[in-house]
A and B are shown apart, each in its own frame.
Chain A
Amino acid sequence: MNLLLRGAAIAAVLHITPVVVLVKRPDAVQTLLPGADSYVAREVHLSDPDAHRLHGLVDWSPDDGVLTFYRGKAGGTDVGALTFARVDTPHGPIEVAVGFTPQGAVRGVVVTKATVEMKPWVLEAVGAGLVERYRGLKPGDVPAGAAALAEHTGKLAVYVAGEVDKGVARALAAYGAFYNHVRA
Chain B
Amino acid sequence: MLYDLRRADLPIKWLVTCLLATLGISYVFGALMVSLYAGFTPERVAATYGGRAMPMPMPPETTMVMEHAMSMAEFARPEVHEVDTNLLIQDTHVHVPMYGVIAAALSLVVAGLSLSQGWAVALITLLFSAPWLDFAGMWLTKFVSGRFAPVTLIGGWAMGLGYVAVAALAIQQMWFRTRGVDR
Contacts and interface: CB of A to CB of B under 8 A. Distances in A.
Interface of A: 4, 7-8, 10-12, 14-16, 18-19, 24-26, 29, 38-48, 50-51, 63-66, 70, 88, 93, 178, 182-184
A179 to B, nearest CB: 9
B76 A26 contact: yes
B55 A66 contact: yes
Contacts of B91: 16
Contact of B66 (A12, A15, A45): A45
Contacts of B101: 4, 7-8, 11
B182 interface: no
A183 B64 CA distance: 7
Interface stretch (B82-90, B110-118, B123-131): B82-90
Given A64-B52, A182-B64, A184-B65, A39 B59 contact: no
Given A26-B72, A70-B70, A45 B55 contact: yes
A182 B63 contact: yes
B67 A40 contact: yes
Among A4, A25, A45: residue with most chain B CB under 10 A: A45
Nearest to A21: B79
Contacts of B69: 38-41
30 contacts: A11-B95, A11-B97, A11-B101, A15-B94, A15-B98, A16-B91, A38-B69, A39-B69, A39-B72, A39-B75, A40-B68, A40-B69, A42-B65, A43-B65, A43-B66, A43-B68, A45-B59, A45-B60, A45-B64, A46-B59, A46-B63, A47-B60, A48-B59, A63-B85, A64-B51, A64-B54, A88-B84, A88-B86, A88-B87, A182-B64
Top 5 nearest A-B pairs (CB, nearest first) are A39-B70, A184-B65, A11-B98, A50-B63, A26-B75
Contact of A44 (B54, B63, B81): B63
